[in-house]
Homo-oligomer: A and B are copies of this chain.
Amino acid sequence: VSGGGEEAFVAWLRKATGRKSLVGDDTATLPPPRRGHRYVVTVDQQIEGTHFLSGLDPETLGRRLLRVNLSDLAASGATPRYAFLVLGLPEDVDPKSIVKGVLRDAKRYGVILAGGDVAHTDDFSSSLSLIGEKRAADAPLTRDRARPGHAIWLGGTVGESALGCELLLRAAADALERDADPGDAEPERPAAPERAVPAAAGPARAARRAVMRNLLPTPQLELGRWLAGLGRSAGACIDLSDGLGKDLARVTTASGVGAEIDLRRVRRATAPGFERLAEALELDPIAVALAGGEDYVLLFTLPPGIAPPARFRARCIGTVTRDRALILLDRA
């Protein structure tokens, strides 16, 4: 429907994806879902400054956009199938690098980029629609399925992404300071994730990992599918975007329950070197673990007696309670 920008972009996309039949003129036709399956849809947007830091290299941006959105499908237990990309870009930004990033990780996660739209805007904005597939018999994995007595599980470590974000912010502040030096050349934008890590960031390995974790989160698709496969036994599920505290509160509020969280267990559900890195940045490790966002691991509840297979390295951090309160236990 839009102007020449979309046309050239779709023509390029058709070439880049090699999917003439699916990337249509203005619409894409989906094959029917597999027997006994349903399509599920999620849409999400990423806005510069709000959802990611300015100056992120376009390919990483594309990869991140896809991964964050895939995390929504992971939390619903669906298998990703098709993606549709909408970009609003300032004149000087080339959409192709972003699309290359999307295509790179689309291949990794088995997603077909099936269409899109691009237009020129003052500020950068992007949105992605994802269509996945799920068995009709699978559990819905909604937030309102936590029941008193359920165990509360984390699909991975928490707080690491927030430390990575903090490192990137400090690196950006340093660059701006250097730029204030008169006569200096314009500071190079961080071209690739690895280069964005400040050299003197304390435990260097943990710092690099934290930055990568923030830039390229890993959607827990396999874990989501395992949870959905539990059918009636499955509990609630959410992907951690806004931090353990906030996202747990979403689950307990939706389910009309409370939670008792063991802080020792939360401490154990952090990445190697997390505590030392937080302290090097003069941050309280447990506060970061509870409040830091964008880890994109699954938080889920399960009836007692059901535990995820060891390969998922999931960790139990507490119990769902009938009393509608969030209790943090800090036994020494």
Contacts and interface: CB of A to CB of B under 8 A. Distances in A.
A121 B50 contact: yes
Interface string A25-45: 111111111000011111111
Contact of A44 (B76, B117, B121): B117
B25 A29 contact: no
A84 B129 contact: yes
Contact of A123 (B73, B123, B238, B250): B123
Contacts of A123: 121-123
A76 B129 contact: no
Contacts of A129: 41, 43, 84, 129
Interface in A106-154: 114-117, 119-123, 125, 127, 129, 131-132, 134, 140, 142-143
Contacts of A85: 43
A75 interface: yes
A47 interface: yes
Nearest to A236: B25
B24 A29 contact: no
- Among A44, A45, A68, A239, max chain B CB count under 10 A is at A45
Contact of A26 (B33, B39, B72): B72
A29 B33 contact: no
Interface in A1-36: 1-3, 7, 24-33
Contacts of A33: 32
A40 B25 CA distance: 12
A300 interface: no
A97 interface: no
A71 interface: yes
A189 interface: no
B27 A88 contact: no
Integer count of this chain's copies in the complex: 2
Contacts of A72: 1, 26-27
A86 interface: yes
Contact of A41 (B73, B114, B140, B254): B114
Contacts of A125: 88, 121, 125
A27 B77 CA distance: 10
A60 interface: no
Nearest to A72: B26
A232 interface: no
Contacts of A143: 25
Contact of A1 (B3, B68, B134): B68
A274 interface: no
13 contacts: A1-B71, A2-B51, A24-B140, A26-B239, A27-B72, A28-B40, A30-B38, A32-B38, A41-B131, A43-B85, A43-B116, A84-B129, A129-B129
Interface of A: 1-3, 7, 24-33, 38-45, 47, 50-51, 68-69, 71-73, 75-76, 78, 82, 84-86, 88, 114-117, 119-123, 125, 127, 129, 131-132, 134, 140, 142-143, 238-239, 241-242, 250, 254
